[in-house]
Amino acid sequence: MTYRVGIIGCGSIARSHADGYLRVANAEMVAVADPHPVAREQFCEEFGIPKSYASLEEMVANEGLDIVSVCTWHLLHPDCTIGAANGGVPGVICEKPMAIGLGEADRMLDACEKNGTKLVVSHQRRFTPGWEKARDLVREKVIGDVIMVHGQVAQGLINWATHTIDGIRFVLDDPEAEWVMGAVERQTDRFERDTAIEDACMGLVAFANGAQALIQADLNRPGEQAGHFQIRGSEGLMEVTENSIRVFNATTDGWEDVEVVADGEYRAIGGETNAASVRELIAWLEGGEEHRASGHKARATVEIMMALFESARQHRVVHLPLEEMGYPLQLMIEEGKLPVAVPGRYDIRAFLNPEGMDEAAYRRLRAEGVSHSAAMRQLADEKR
């Protein structure tokens, strides 16, 4: 069977999804949906997709889709996922973060359960060989019982730290979180893809298996990435990235590298990991095991992020399950608990917004071979 695929949103991240589908023999991209005509036109031309629509509803009604990728900005994830599920689409891959607020995540899960839709969230780094090997080593107790995992990341909790938190949970075999304590700073009017975010935050998470995780967002050393973290166990240490691992324990001669991938078998983040995620969704649709990045697993990551913000809002440890269904950071802003000291709203992903874009200049840059993301950044710089 060939699975018919539609993509909603034709920006940068959609290109990563498309690269993944191109690597899956039994998946065919047949349509895209985006309200911006030039975005649809360029995307279809780039990937050889025959149909385009201005709305998800129109695409779903006309194309008999088996899988939809939701590649919109964060606040549109719930309605797009629900629209696909209500339209009878069997499988949905939604970009991260799953939702802004636990209530929105639950709306997505409820709609998918009601319609029999399999929901996957694009925490595709779960398919990287470093994370997979680290999970195996933790299971084998190479460093004993896990005591603490430390992750540092930039560009906002909901943006990149969703990968870090999800990766920590994956490597630890998806344990339940019991409580979260968080601290937040927001002295500038900072946004990311039209969603309010913090300047910096820190959170401590306690899991039911006895392990804890310390998360730092925008308080890190330069160069720290979303997929990098350090694990301290009762009998050793481990440093993990998506494609490398170092271990220090009683049997090693100092730090030792662990072979993760053979030469020439590097699994790049993006097309390769997205393809692996698509294949696992197809296996799930055909009666296989639940996807490793299912909506239910992603909900747990959303809950931890929202609990961190709620802890800062309430000035106390927050025990799970989380009661607050909204977006606690936005609530703190509205309640005056995070007054802006440096006025002037700004969005760290503003260059990706197509509103007011010089369409002729965009087409010219793309014709010259400039990538979508680079063209958008150049046009934004020229506009300033």
DSSP codes joined into one string, 276-302: HHHHHHHHHHTT-PPPTTBHHHHHHHH
Whether residue 179 is predicted with pLDDT greater than 70 in this model: the reply is: yes
Q: Which residue shows structure tokens 């927001």?
A: 186
pLDDT tens across 354-381, in order?
777 777 777 787 777 777 777 777 767 7
Whether residue 243 is predicted with pLDDT greater than 70 in this model: the reply is: yes
Cβ-Cβ contacts under 8 Å for 364 (sequence gap 6 or more): none
| CATH no. for 3-125+271-292 | 3.40.50.720
Region 53-59: mean pLDDT is 98
- Classify residue 182 by burial, with Cβ atoms within 10 Å: 0-12, 13-18, 19+: buried
Whether residue 263 is predicted with pLDDT greater than 90 in this model: the reply is: no
The model's confidence at residue 262, banded by pLDDT at 50, 70 and 90, is low
The model's confidence at residue 384, banded by pLDDT at 50, 70 and 90, is low
Region 263-291: mean pLDDT is 88
Region 159-176: mean pLDDT is 96
Residue 250 in contact with residue 260, Cβ under 8 Å? no
- All structural domains of the chain with their residue ranges: 3-125+271-292, 354-383
The average confidence (pLDDT) of the chain is 94
Whole-prediction pTM: 0.94
The pLDDT value given to residue 271: 85
The pLDDT value given to residue 223: 64
The pLDDT value given to residue 267: 65
Whether residue 121 is predicted with pLDDT greater than 70 in this model: the reply is: yes
Region 191-198: mean pLDDT is 96
Sheet of 177-185, strand order? 256-258, 244-249, 236-241, 229-233, 146-153, 212-217, 200-207, 177-185, 318-319
For residue 346, give the nearest of 200, 193, 195, 190 by alpha carbon: 190
pLDDT tens across 326-347, in order?
999 999 999 999 999 999 999 9
- Classify residue 112 by burial, with Cβ atoms within 10 Å: 0-12, 13-18, 19+: buried
Pairing mode, if any, of strands 212-217 and 146-153? parallel
Which pairs count as long-range contacts for 105-111, CB under 8 Å and 24+ apart, including other chains? 105/78, 105/295, 105/298, 105/299, 105/302, 105/303, 106/299, 106/325, 107/78, 107/82, 108/77, 108/78, 108/81, 108/82, 108/295, 109/295, 109/296, 109/299, 111/81, 111/82, 111/85, 111/86
Whether residue 120 is predicted with pLDDT greater than 80 in this model: the reply is: yes
Region 232-244: mean pLDDT is 96
Q: How far is Cα 216 from Cα 199, in angstroms, rounded to an integer?
A: 11
Whether residue 264 is predicted with pLDDT greater than 60 in this model: the reply is: no
Residue 242 in contact with residue 131, Cβ under 8 Å? yes
pLDDT tens across 298-326, in order?
999 999 999 999 999 999 999 999 999 99
Q: Is 324 helix (H, G, I), strand (E, B) or coil?
A: coil
Q: How far is Cα 28 from Cα 180, in angstroms, rounded to an integer?
A: 42
